[in-house]
Every structure is written in structure tokens, then in C-alpha cells.
Structure 1
Amino acid sequence: AFAPRIVRGDPHMVLAEAGTGTGKTLGYVAPASLWAERNGGTVWISTYTRHLQRQIEGELARLYPDPAVRRRHVVLRKGRENYLCLLNMEEAVNIAASRPGASGATVALSMIARWAGATADGDLTGGDLPGWFGDLFGRGMLAGIADRRGECIHGACPHYQRCFVEHSIRRAREADLVIANHALVMAQAAWHAMDGDGATDEDNVPTRYVFDEGHHVLDAADGAFSVELSGLEAAELRRWLLGAEGARSRARGLT
């Protein structure tokens, strides 16, 4: 899988299956890290769940026992909905400040602010945020300060330079190994397919993918390249495209 291509543009693919406890992780981590170091490229290791991502990250601690060295060589990537959004955090703080009776929210946001100043990656789900935080203050509170609705304004955000998501993206470009999940890899593939900005060997960014739990890849692809709408959502989409129904309506939609 990591050998040079015989014909330009033709990918190398290897399908392998092994039972539990046979050393599968080491079997792909070792050649992946060696290839990345020799070629100055990045290998993305994709698995099915965020929990499995953390397991692989733990295995890589044996390859890079020094945390500082491991941080340079290995990056864990998740979807942006898993990270603290500083703009949403700012908005939540302003709302709490305008409501003197919201003492619980104020305490929670104060603790998040202290954590944000010390966290390694801003990961709200499975990172260095204490697991009891969501149980104590509610998962909804954490969802409110993450980008769960796709409202990110990217470079227009006043916190863009400090954004945890953007930091992880930039670090991933320089890393040897990127630990991702199938959903993120497929979402990126869908995004690149729309804007034509995929990273290839021709861009001097040689990239290889290892899909662990590969039998779930098709499910992840279905989720990334398709959209499910409820009846209400379909009606809202129709109204947005065609305008509100009724002869007297001034709304024209997009037509």
C-alpha cells in the first residue's frame, strides 16, 4: 500500500482482515510512520468512532513516548462540532452577563474559560475536559458552545487565529500521522469534490489513508454524500426555494 505507484494516478490498495488481539494497529502504524518520515508526507489513519481514535492515540504513545515529540508527529482530528467555538463562547458569556439570575451558567462558563486557557486542543468530547463536566452542567450547555449548526464564518471570525479547529487543521498539514474518523474523512472528500481543492501528490502533499474498521466506510460515505430530510424540513426547503405559498405572498424564494 505504501509502495511507489506503477502507473501515475493508479492507487495502491490493500484489503486485510485479522482477528482481535493480533496486533492490527501496530501492523499499519509502523509502515505508516516510516513512510511519512521518509517521504515528508502525511498518512491519515481513519477509524469508525471517536473512542477508537483515542485508543489508536494511546497505541502511538509507545511509538512516541515523549509527549512533546508525539504532539509534533501525531494529530487527532475530529469534526468541528467536537471543539469549543470561541465565538459561541463569547456569545454565551454575553447572554449570561445580561441575566443576573443565571448563576449556574455563569459558573459553568467561568470553568470553561479557565479550561480554554490551558487545554491542548479544545476538544469538548473525549479530550482533556473532565468527563464529569457534561454530567454536572448538562450536555446541552456544551453543545451550545460548539459549532453544531454549521454556522462557522471561518476567516471572518474575530477569533479565527486562535480557533481550535483551525489549529488542528494547520497542525495536521505538518504531521506525520493524523488520526481521524470515517465521517470526517468522507465529509472532507465531499467538500473537496465540491470545490475541487483536494490534496494530491501533484500538490507536493503525498497523502495515504489507512481505514481501520473498514467495514463501516460505506456507511460513513452514505452519511457524507447524502442528505435526509423530514417532512417539515422538506417543506421548509421548498418554501426557501419557491417562496411562501399563496397568491398574495410577496416572498419569491430563489426563483
Structure 2
Amino acid sequence: MSVGPVFLMFSDSFKTDIEIISGASAPFFMPSVQNDGTAICDILWYEPDHLDFCAIRFGGAFINSITIALISTALTLYIGCMTAYALVRYRFIGRDLVSLATLAVRMVPPAVLLVPAFGLWNNVFCLDKDSFVGAWIRDVVGERGDVCLAGTHSGIILIHAAMNLPFVIWNLQSFVVQVPHSPREGARVDGAGPFHVSRRIVMPPINPGLAAAAIFTFLIAWNECLLASALAGRDTRTVPILIVNNTREFSIEWGIIMTTCMLLAVPPILFTLFASRQIITGMTAGAVKG
């Protein structure tokens, strides 16, 4: 059942809109790469013959999605790992409350964050256009008003990191608590600092947890559309936003949508396969041959 929609999407990406709507060519049809040329026309070294104008900017949206997903994943894992380590290894007042709050925050629907994030990113987190830094950024980027987080890669990266950070902290806590105390204490006696202990002693045993959290964070950041559509600008639109914008009320180009969806599915599959190898490697590294 799960393979059926994927196969339908794959086959429809090689059909014309007339063939998809009529269904006359199913299940046998003559494959065409016309939709592929239309979808990636902005990154081709030649101009497709069937196009008069390249309206779909998939290449730029794809680069935006890769940049936002990778940076937000790395930022979330770094902050989440340090926070989980501090919540497990250090005792302070309110530690249990903070640990519970991280999981409670994750229960907040992303739609609830839409209006507050839009207001903060457009009004609060801004640099005055008359300030030195604001004027320099404005001259480099070419903006005329105040420099705000809205419409930038940084704004989308921060909202994705804030949205995924509670789950990453909660997930990594269960892995950090299983790290034995003796290697950590021995490294501290030898003069190792907190960052050295975290990188050399704590990180290797929790690689499976990091890989699982990386897969979760990357998939959420890659597929997220609601917050990104509200905070993204014309030059920072991601692939999901491009797909939504390509659906019109009276004219829907199903072939191009299916092709774009197929291209959208490739990076998460590759990232998941790579991260899954880290999970298997971390699990087998601690195995003892009987």
C-alpha cells in the first residue's frame, strides 16, 4: 500500500498533463522528460525547446532547502547535545522542571507559532536601516528598509531549530544517561575540559541517538511548509513552497508537480540512508562477541 502512491507519482512524472487527467495511457505510455526539463530549467546549461520562459525556479529553491535543512539540523544537534548533557550530568534547582518543559513545548502545534514568529521576525528582530551594521547589510543585500530576520535563511533556520530542539533534547537525554561515569571522571582527572570530555567521551556512545535525531530534524526542516511560507522571501523559498505555489485554482500542472515531488524525495532518502549507517555502526561498536 505504501509503494502504490510512490509508483504513481514516479510514473506520472513522465506523463503529460493530458495523459494524467484522461488516464488513457495507463498503464502503458510513452515516457517523456519534458516535465523534468520544465522543473529544472533554471539550472540547465541549455534552454528546453518547449519552453519560452523558465517560470519555475527549482534550482534556487532546492539550494535554499538544502541550506536551511542542513544548517538547522547541525545547529539543533549541537545545542540539543550540550543541553541534554547538562540536564543529565549537572544538578541544579529546577532541572526536572526544565526537562519536562522541553517535552511539553514540543506538544505545541507549529501553527500556533505562526503569528508570534511572523511578528517577532518582522518587527522585533530587526536592525535599523540607519545603523552601521544595518546600512552595511542593506548595501550588500540591496534591501531598502530595515534588515529583519523575515525573508532570510537565518530566520527560517532559527524557527526550525526552535521547533525541533525540544524533541532532540528529550531524545538525547536517554542516550547520555547511559554513558558510564568512570571514563568521564578519568578524563577530568587527566585535565580534560568539559568540551573535550563531551567530544571524546560522551559523543561516540550516543552516535545512534544523534543519527536518529538528525534524521528526524532533517525531515521536519526539509518538508516544513507552513512556517517557511510565512517567513520566507522571494529569494529564500524552499521546494515545498514552490510546489504549493505551482498549484492554481483553475490550472494545475500535475506532471511538473509530480516531477518536483520526486526530486524533493531524493535528498531525504540519501540523508536517511547515510544517517542509518551511523546508527548501525554505533550499535555494533559496543557489541561483545560471545
* TM-score, normalisation: structure 1: 0.20
* TM-score, normalisation: structure 2: 0.18
